[in-house]
C-alpha cells in the first residue's frame, strides 16, 4: 500500500487474492521499460507493483523460502532482479520483460546454496559484480551475467551471519563473534587489509552503519561506535 506522508491517508492498495504474507525483506525499486515499480518477495512468490497506482504488474512463484526470506531484492540494469536466501534456498536471477505494456518475469539462472545464498544480509552490487556472504560463511564475489563465482574468501575465513558494508572501494565485514575485517572491493581476489575484534558478545548480526567516519556496530547485547576516519 501507499500512504500519504502528511495525513496517513491510504492512496492505493494492491489486491492480494492469493493471501501472500509479508516476509523480513524490504521493498526494492526497479525501473523497467520506463515503468517505476516496487519489487517484493512475499511468502509464496515475488511481485512487481506499479508505483503510480499499485497495479500488480507481474508475479512469480519461482522464488520462495519456506522458513524466512530476509535479504531484499537486488535490482540490476536490464530489468534484472537478483534474489538470494538462506535455508538451502540458493539464489535466482530474474529478467522482467515488457511487451506491449505487459510484464513477464523469466528465470535466467538459479544457483544452489553451495554456490551462493544470503541468509540475512542483502548482497551488494559494485562495479558490475555482486558481493555477499554465502551459507558456508565465506565472503564471495559473483559474476551476475551467469552466476559464476569470481572468488571466495579463504577456507577457514568464516563470517557466519555477520553484516557487511561498502565504504568507497573497501568492504567492512563482520563475523558472528565481533571480528571486523577491512577488505579490498576488488574483482581480482579476496584481500583482507586489517582486522580487529570490536565486539565481545555473540550474534554480531546487526547491520553496520557508517557516517562521518564513524561506524556503528552491534551484537545481541552491545553497541559500539568506532572512529574510522583517517588521521
CATH number of the structural domain spanning residue 199: 2.40.10
Compute the half-sphere exposure of residue 112: CA atoms within 13 Å on the CB side of its CA: 1
Note whether 222 and 162 are same-domain residues.
yes
Q: Helix, strand or coil for residue 70?
A: coil
Angle at CA 20, nearest 5°, toward 16 and 22? 110
Residue 229 belongs to domain spanning: 153-231
Is residue 141, in this structure, part of any structural domain at all?
no
Residue 148: inside a domain: no
91 and 187 share one domain: no
Cα–Cα dist 59/64, whole Å? 12
Cα gap 130→178, rounded to integer Å: 24
Asked if residue 136 is part of any domain, the answer here is no
By the 10 Å C-beta count (0-12 exposed, 13-18 middle, 19+ buried), 65 is classed as buried
Same domain membership, residue 112 and residue 8: yes
- Cell of residue 26, nine digits: 524490504
* Cα–Cα distance, 215 to 168 (Å, whole number): 14
From the first residue on, what is the mean pLDDT of each consecutive set of 10 residues in the chain (231 residues)? Answer: 96 95 96 94 96 96 92 96 96 96 96 95 97 95 97 90 94 94 95 94 93 94 90 63
Answer yes or no: do 163 and 102 share one domain: no
Same domain, 113 and 215: no
Both 109 and 172 in a single domain? no
198's enclosing H/E stretch is none
CA distance 41 to 85: 11
Please indicate, yes or no, if residue 174 is contained in any of the structural domains: yes
**What pLDDT was estimated at residue 155?**
87
Contact 170, 164 (CB under 8 A): no
Whether 25 maps to a domain, the answer reads yes
Count of the separate structural domains present in the chain: 2
CA–CA gap between residue 59 and residue 14 (Å, rounded) = 12
DSSP 218: E
Instruction: Decide if 126 is inside a domain.
Output: no
What residues have CB less than 8 Å from 141, skipping those under 6 apart? Answer: 129, 130, 131, 149, 150, 151, 152, 187, 190
State the Cα–Cα distance between residues 178 and 196, nearest whole angstrom.
Answer: 8
Residue 224 falls within a domain, yes or no? yes
Residue 231 domain-assigned (yes or no): yes
Amino acid at each position: 500500500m501507499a500512504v500519504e506522508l502528511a495525513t496517513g491517508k491510504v492512496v492505493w492498495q494492491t489486491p492480494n487474492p492469493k493471501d501472500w504474507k509479508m516476509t523480513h525483506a524490504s521493498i526494492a525499486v526497479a525501473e523497467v521499460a520506463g515503468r517505476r515499480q516496487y519489487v517484493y518477495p512475499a511468502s509464496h512468490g515475488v511481485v512487481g507493483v506499479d508505483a503510480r497506482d499499485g497495479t500488480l504488474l507481474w508475479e512469480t512463484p519461482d522464488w520462495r523460502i519456506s522458513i524466512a526470506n530476509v535479504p531484499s531484492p537486488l535490482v540490476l540494469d536490464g530489468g534484472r532482479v537478483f534474489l538470494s536466501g538462506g535455508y538451502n534456498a540458493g539464489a535466482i536471477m530474474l529478467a522482467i520483460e515488457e511487451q506491449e505494456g505487459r510484464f513477464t518475469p523469466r528465470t535466467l539462472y538459479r544457483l544452489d546454496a553451495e554456490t551462493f545464498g544470503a541468509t540475512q544480509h542483502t548482497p551488494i552490487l559494485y562495479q558490475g559484480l555482486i558481493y555477499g556472504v554465502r551459507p558456508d560463511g565465506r565472503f564471495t564475489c559473483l559474476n551476475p551475467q551467469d552466476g559464476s563465482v569470481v572468488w571466495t574468501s579463504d577456507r577457514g575465513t568464516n563470517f557466519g551471519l555477520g553484516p557487511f558494508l561498502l565504504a568507497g572501494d573497501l568492504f567492512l565485514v563482520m563475523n558472528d563473534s565481533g571480528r571486523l575485517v577491512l577488505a579490498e572491493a576488488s574483482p581480482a581476489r579476496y584481500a583482507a587489509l586489517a582486522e580487529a575484534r570490536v565486539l565481545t558478545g555473540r550474534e554480531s548480526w546487526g547491520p553496520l552503519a557508517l557516517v562521518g567516519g564513524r561506524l556503528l556496530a552491534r551484537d545481541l547485547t552491545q553497541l559500539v561506535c568506532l572512529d574510522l576516519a583517517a588521521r
